[in-house]
Structure 1
Amino acid sequence: MAKNTGLIKFTGKLGNLSARETQYGNIISTPGGFNGDRIRTEERYEATRQLGTEFGRCSKIASQLYSTLTFYLQTLPHPHMYGYIQSLITNIKGCDANSPKGERSFGIGLQTEQGRKMLHHFSFNPKRNLQSVMMQQYDVGLETGKLVLPGFNIQKISFPKSARKLGLQLVLLRLDTETPICRMETSTLFLISPNDENTTIRLEACVPEGKGVLIALLYFGFCSETNGEVYFLKHPKNVLEVVGFL
């Protein structure tokens, strides 16, 4: 596969060449690739089949997280969010050193110290985390579905010119990694303006029922409000971060 940098560009087929327009430019390739039947049956491709099985399971989990969190993710700046989430799930799966290849799982990987470190304080905005935008301590009670930000100082927050308010929301996920199914509950959205006084913020959400890992996230997003309707900006300082799990 090659990128066409010349003056003559085309799309479709020309002889044994195929070309298409992508975000990276005009790409030219020749026919090829693996034979599907050989990959499914030949012993030499056993490792490929094993990796494919694991990748498929990770993709289903990533899809659940992506679809469940779409409202928040669309306000973050990352252009390839699904791939970013898929990478997290795959890397945690790789921490499963006890299962044979082809059977390694995200759920077992998350039980390891290394896997837990990857998820702990994971920010869905790779260029910002809560510490960098909020500089505020918080206390999380996963069993009760509560998060407290004591003495929240809005003066420490740098507001974008287009934002009139900051929205804070606790998001609780119950992720069954075997099904996989993801259930979500959220707190009431807490809105604060740049001139508001320091206050203790308490966010509370129902704990999702079911089995699987319980993940708590805090959403920090800049927004405006018109006639009671809240409109979130897609801004580089918006953050959705894992603040606890069990």
Structure 2
Amino acid sequence: MAKNSGIIKIEGTLEELTFYKKDGVNFVRRKASVSKARIQNDPSYARTRENNQEFAHCSQMSKTLRQAIHALIFSVRDGKQHYRLQQVMAKLKNQDMDSARGMRKVSIGLETPEGKQLLNGFDFNTQAVLDQILAAPYTIDTDKGTVSFANISPVQHVHFPTGATHVAFQSAVLALNFDTGVSDLVLSGVKSLSLEAAATTIKLTVDRIPEVEHGQLMYLLLVSFNQELNGEHYPLRNGAFNALRIIAVP
């Protein structure tokens, strides 16, 4: 794979070369010499077909999770989010010790303690990793669906980006069946604090724990920043500084 540094930037296939852009950089690579039909039917490409099938499965599982939490994920902005989550899904798939190659599933991997640990702590925005913007400890009651902060001080415990005047906290509990795509997301209320607010206690509570047949529970925390102008609160830079993390996978 080489970079395309010429004055004219081409995208697409030209004879045996494919030109494409990734992360704002132009690349060029030689077109694959093996036909699609051969890969799909030749016995010597069995491993390739298995890898392709599992890759497609992990990509779909990443999409399934992101769609299930759309009410939260639209608040954060990370262009590489899908690919990072897909990598986690690939590791989860590897925890499936029962299925044959090419048929391993994320849902089976998530049944293991190791699988749950792989998903727990995933940050949906690498520009705003939760630990980098929030220094206050919190506790999670997975039975009641509560996330609690004791004596949190915005000026001491929150790293405010330039221009922000308020920080908002919201928790959520998700039940998701990765095999069927059926999901149920329950959100807590939003607790907003100004930068100058005195230390206070915050308790984020959902009104019920969601239930989905054969669904995996996940607990999430969203920390978002706003700017107050003439009494109205506006999202800061379309969520570039907002943090969203999976904080528990029981």
TM-score bracket, shorter-length normalisation:
0.7 to 0.9
1:23 offset after TM fit, Å?
Answer: 4.7
* Structure-1 separation of matches of 2:193 and 2:39: 56
- Corresponding residue for residue 222 of structure 2: 219
Q: From the superposition, tell whether residues 54 and 228 of structure 1 become closer, same or farther in structure 2 (CA, over 3 Å).
A: farther
Residue of structure 1 in register with 2:119 after alignment: 119
1:166-245 equivalence runs, <5 A: 166-205=167-206, 206-211=208-213, 212-225=215-228, 230-234=233-237, 237-245=241-249
Q: CA deviation at 1:147?
A: 1.6
Deviations 1:45-64 (A, max 9, x none): 22122222222222222112
Q: CA deviation at 1:26?
A: 4.2
The 5 A counterparts of 1:39-78 are 39-70=39-70, 72-78=72-78
Q: Following the alignment from structure 2 to structure 1, what is the Cα–Cα distance between the partners of residues 98 and 128? A: 34
Mark the CA change 1:216 to 1:33 in structure 2 (over 3 Å): closer, same or farther.
farther
Could you tell me how far 1:32 is from its partner in structure 2?
3.0
| CA-to-aligned-CA distance 1:8-59 (integer Å, 9 cap, x gap) | 6555666555545665444444443532222222211221222222222222
Distance, in Å, in 1 between the alignment partners of 2:21 and 2:249 is 43
When the two structures are superposed, what TM-score results if normalisation uses the length of structure 2?
0.84
Aligned residues: 246
Length-normalised TM-score, structure 1: 0.85
Secondary structure of the structure 1 residue equivalent to 2:171: strand
What CA distance in whole angstroms lies between the structure 2 residues aligned with 1:109 and 1:215? 15
- Please give the alpha-carbon distance, in whole angstroms, between the structure 2 residues aligned to 1:37 and 1:236: 43
Residues 131 and 230 from structure 1, CA distance in 2 versus in 1: closer, same or farther, beyond 3 angstroms?
same
Amino acid at match of 1:208: P
Shift of 1:220: 0.8
Segments of structure 2 that go 5 or more residues without pairing to the other structure are: none
1:204–1:51 Cα change, 3 Å: same
- Cα distance in 1 between the residues matched to 2:14 and 2:89: 40
Paired amino acid for 2:184: R
CA–CA separation in structure 2 for the residues paired with 1:92 and 1:13: 35
Query: Contact between 1:165 and 1:191, CA under 8 Å: does it hold in 2?
Result: yes
Q: Distance in 2 between matches of 1:194 and 1:173?
A: 30
Rate the CA distance shift 1:239–1:8 in 2: closer, same or farther, 3 A. closer
Q: Deviations over 1:84-118 (max 9, x none)?
A: 11111111211223332122211222233332222
- Percent identity over paired residues: 27
Which amino acid is 1:244 matched to?
A: A
Q: Is the 8 A contact 1:163 1:233 kept in 2?
A: yes
Q: Any gaps of 5 or more consecutive residues in structure 1? A: none
What do you get for the CA RMSD once the two structures are aligned?
Answer: 2.7
* Structure-2 residue corresponding to 1:96: 96
SS state at 1:40 partner = helix
Q: Which amino acid aligns with 1:181?
A: V
Q: In structure 1, what is the equivalent of residue 166 of structure 2?
A: 165
Q: Return closer, same or farther for 1:87/1:144 CA change in 2, 3 Å cut-off.
A: same
